[in-house]
Structure 1
């Protein structure tokens, strides 16, 4: 949920649903239309908040959630890596990004409020929350290699670890804690058994997962 300061009703917050992904510095990226009310609000006042929650928990009151209080800043067109990462996570956005009616924004963190359950409620500062992606320089090569040469392994991961039999798979991105795969347009998250930081460690982790998937599928 994206909250902006209403231009139409000054002083009141305006909520809207906006998908996001993270850039390599850990900040959310959102793609919004210049015709949308929330964009007009941002252009008048850049102060926003983005609330995310654990959608897998059936009890919304018990689910972990985070409110990201930020300033919304347009992402320059020459920041090609940020634009490419958003496209990878939302392939259908390519058509939107190619029009003049949509623009990519970065939510620059001011402070965040985390609720993790009873007794786990606190504020987080920038240095406590922002985590740089160690694969900023190598992500495109890793993702391209997996999609071009190891799609069969991605399908095996989906089947063995998520119970999803997919016809079309694509790795979207990788970070220290795991990687994301789009399986027949369904996003799946795979986590590593321990954090990684280099392409060699990523390769080793993928090999371990492939072996584990084969063993699992053999029964």
Structure 2
């Protein structure tokens, strides 16, 4: 690449139907940052934007993301050039000789109406409505959500530095329990490779996810240091572990011992592939001090009842709250600030956050808040 020409190559990928454009920048010359039109490329926290530009150009770039998503029904590649005077992007499939221009603009910037059909413009408006609602939807603080999820679940993937494999990390599925202090308890066998690994190197990580097949849901990784539970704490540790795993008869076996993981850092990832990607990294102390959301313990029964007996009402709530039509909506999780639903819209899955009008104080209060949601909100799209 010739930096003196103030251009840079960009490659991207359109993936349908779950996500539209992922920016893959091959190289950026330092001189580009001073370009009059283009500031830089970046990934939006709400959805992937291929470009991030100055002024009104940014809106055009955002429109391009949805424009290509509206048109593409297959995988396609995006290639183009930035310069001081403009931008041109072309799309091509596996046959590189067949290209078409999908977006073009000069410094003046053509209007979206010149590029998009009315149907595509309506698609973009609907997407923006959904994204705007989701950005504003109240959620638990990240450390509270992480602590709540880890406390509710019972199994995770423990990664240790393998002594046998020459220092490579090796994962194992393990049952765990959480102490009131926020530390994690394991009951491990001396015959297990991960026990040998922890004795040689106590640094490890425990990954916890509600559904390993759903990358849009929250995944929590506890970057931790392991140590044997002291003799004076063993009986209490066993009792805590047995409350979570009543059938764990092996806790008293001679070759098993109680191990405590002390979280040093916590990483939370959610919203992958659905356009609301979020990554958080915070201290283990923040995790350990976080309170467990009091409503989340009722999430399963509430969701089951609503999905079995009141699915139509849930659909109505989604349409009133978000302001768009959906084919169906099932509640997946409930907490004190709202709930998550898995909706179907035009044949595609759509995971949404629906906030309560106020914080729920009890399980009974959740019922009242659901009634309030049914009685008001934005009008669904026509």
TM-score of the aligned structures, taking structure 2 as reference length: 0.35
Equivalent residue number for residue 106 of structure 1 = 260
CA-to-partner distance for each residue in 1:144-199, whole Å, 9 max, x for gaps?
xxxxxxxxxxxxxx978756xxxxxxxxxxxxxxxxxxxxxxxxxx98859xxxxx
Equivalent residue number for residue 287 of structure 2 = 129
Counterpart among 224, 236, 242 of residue 87 in structure 1: 242
Counterpart-to-counterpart distance in 1, 2:280 and 2:183: 19
The ranges of structure 1 where at least 4 consecutive aligned residues each deviate by more than 3 angstroms after the TM superposition are 158-163, 190-194
Task: Say whether 1:66 aligns with 2:188.
Answer: no
Higher-Rg member (1/2)? 2
Kindly report the root-mean-square deviation, in angstroms, between the aligned alpha carbons of the 2 structures. 3.1
Rate the CA distance shift 1:60–1:51 in 2: closer, same or farther, 3 A. Answer: same
Rate the CA distance shift 1:110–1:161 in 2: closer, same or farther, 3 A. Answer: closer
Counterpart-to-counterpart distance in 1, 2:258 and 2:224: 15
Counterpart among 178, 190, 198 of residue 34 in structure 1: 190
**SS of equivalent residue, structure 2 residue 253:** coil
Q: Gaps (5+ residues) in structure 2?
A: 1-156, 293-299, 306-332, 338-360, 369-382
Contact preservation (8 Å) 2:268, 2:280: yes
Rate the CA distance shift 1:161–1:60 in 2: closer, same or farther, 3 A. Answer: closer
Contact preservation (8 Å) 1:25, 1:132: no
Counterpart-to-counterpart distance in 1, 2:335 and 2:280: 27
Q: CA deviation at 1:30?
A: 1.1
**SS of equivalent residue, structure 2 residue 237:** helix
Question: What is the aligned length?
Answer: 150
Contact preservation (8 Å) 2:303, 2:334: no
Equivalent residue number for residue 7 of structure 1 = 163
Counterpart-to-counterpart distance in 2, 1:77 and 1:89: 21
CA-to-partner distance for each residue in 1:107-143, whole Å, 9 max, x for gaps?
1111111102234102111232113679xxxxxxxxx
**SS of equivalent residue, structure 1 residue 10:** coil
Equivalent residue number for residue 115 of structure 1 = 269
Q: Gaps (5+ residues) in structure 1?
A: 135-157, 164-189, 195-203, 213-219
Contact preservation (8 Å) 2:160, 2:204: yes
Query: Which structure would you say has the larger RCO, counting Cα contacts within 8 Å and 6 or more residues apart?
Result: 1
Counterpart-to-counterpart distance in 1, 2:199 and 2:253: 19
TM-score of the aligned structures, taking structure 1 as reference length: 0.58
